[in-house]
Structure 1
């Protein structure tokens, strides 16, 4: 059985889950504890980041590397086209999406944590030591997140600027391809990467960022969300999730 080691809230882990789902491959999503995860990831892959896929005796780190591995090992439902130019374009868009994800994460977390501990609640999970000792684990996790993701005002403001730039570039890419898919005429790596990185901005149902209408959200976030939905790119992300995100495994993991 394949195992995907993840943080449930991570949009890079959402990307990896989607890649596996697109390939129609069975897997288990296994959650690691932020911070403590580093000893495990260093031991298995020599680096600190998630997602990590274990497939038999192979360990693959990084969502893009997972995509390349899956196409090489399981060629059915290809993520990248065989045409060299289309493949290069897809990898270029994937790289843009990966950079965008860093800024979406920083900006989104900063706004959300300023009014709610919901991200911390999801990270702690429903049971286990973190939940048992949540009085202590919640402030520690919040401090770790703020430090590791550099949620200071200057960094957050810069991420907002970079989000605007990359979203505009991706919006133009999409328009040039008639707003259907980023590369070619069907879903591929570029689409999955872009949609995964932008999903937190739309709080889509069935995703880790789903927001019950009773929850409070900042006015700044809501204004950005509404503006994003006015763009072809925002409407595209919403459409792709509604029509092509056929999740086979619960994002909450175990």
Structure 2
């Protein structure tokens, strides 16, 4: 069986999960934790990042490379249009989604959890001890802002990312006015990439992710709850309903998560 070394809150992992579901492929999710296990993953695959796909003896890293590999090995429900121009547009849009929505949604989400104690606490797994929840909830926003600067998510970066995401969502809404998918009548990698990578803007509401119930259907204020971008999220929800499988249908990871590094 295909194995996906992943992180549940990684939108790049979600992009791959959506691709696997779209193609109707069975796979086992292996949840990972950062730490010393990086050595083990590197020994097995020569890769340090997640998501990493293992198919038999083959390891593939990077969500885009995983998509290309899966399309070669499992050609049913192709990810790329046959028309050369449409294929080019699909590749360009997928790359844009990776570098724009993928990166900027993380920055904007960091800004949201820095400002909202309740939202910050709700992202913690239900098994988190109460004392840890209390500590996380009451971390001063000023401390998180300083930490954010260190990881490229300072106040200026968050503001810029949020502004850019508003433009991205507006453009996507316009593209979807008169067609069911971003490039026409059939879904392609561009649709799956955009839908999966938008996970951190607004978490899908449904049995798709192993997330605390309190955050499902919630997201970045001003984006997730704006009526202006509602057409996009309605479209995404429809795409999920068509192709995304319930998390409960998958094999579960071992009781002790595989420890690998998340870069």
**Shorter-chain TM-score: what band?**
0.7 to 0.9
**Aligned-partner Cα distance in 1 for 2:37–2:148:** 17
* 1:65 counterpart residue number: 65
Identify which of structures 1 and 2 has the higher relative contact order when contacts are C-alpha pairs closer than 8 Å and 6+ apart. 2
Task: State the Cα distance separating 1:190 from its structure 2 match.
Answer: 1.1
Aligned to 1:154: 156
The aligned counterpart of 2:22 is 22
Q: Deviations over 1:124-161 (max 9, x none)?
A: x85xxxx79x96xx97xx99x95885332222222212
- Shift of residue 89, structure 1, vs aligned partner: 1.2
Instruction: Answer yes or no: is the 8 Å Cα contact 2:208–2:246 preserved in 1.
Output: no
Q: Residues 163-174 of structure 1 correspond to what in structure 2 (within 5 A)?
A: 163-174=165-176
Q: Deviations over 1:20-45 (max 9, x none)?
A: 11111111100111354543444445
Segments of 5+ residues of structure 2 without an aligned counterpart are 137-142, 255-263
- Is 1:227 matched up with 2:229? no
Q: Report 1:1-254 matches (<5 A).
A: 1-36=1-36, 38-99=38-99, 100-112=101-113, 114=115, 115=117, 116-119=120-123, 121-122=124-125, 126=127, 149-175=151-177, 178-205=178-205, 206-208=207-209, 212=213, 221-227=220-226, 230-247=229-246, 249-250=249-250, 253-254=253-254
Q: What is the Cα-based RMSD across aligned positions, in Å? A: 3.4
Distance 2:76 2:239 in 1: 20
1:106 to partner: Cα distance: 1.9
Counterpart contact for 1:15–1:193, Cα < 8 Å:
yes
* Residues 175-231 of structure 1 deviation map (CA, whole Å, 9 limit, x = unaligned): 3xx24101232222111111111133233222448674699x79xx33322226644
Q: What's the offset of the Cα at 1:57?
A: 1.0
Q: Which has the higher helix share?
A: 1
CA contact (8 A) 1:19 1:67 kept: yes
For structure 1, the residue ranges without an aligned partner over 5 or more in a row are none
Structure 1 partner of 2:257: none
Q: C-alpha offsets along residues 24-75 of structure 1, whole Å, 9 cap, x if unaligned?
A: 1111100111354543444445443211000011111111111110110010
Say how many residue pairs are matched: 236
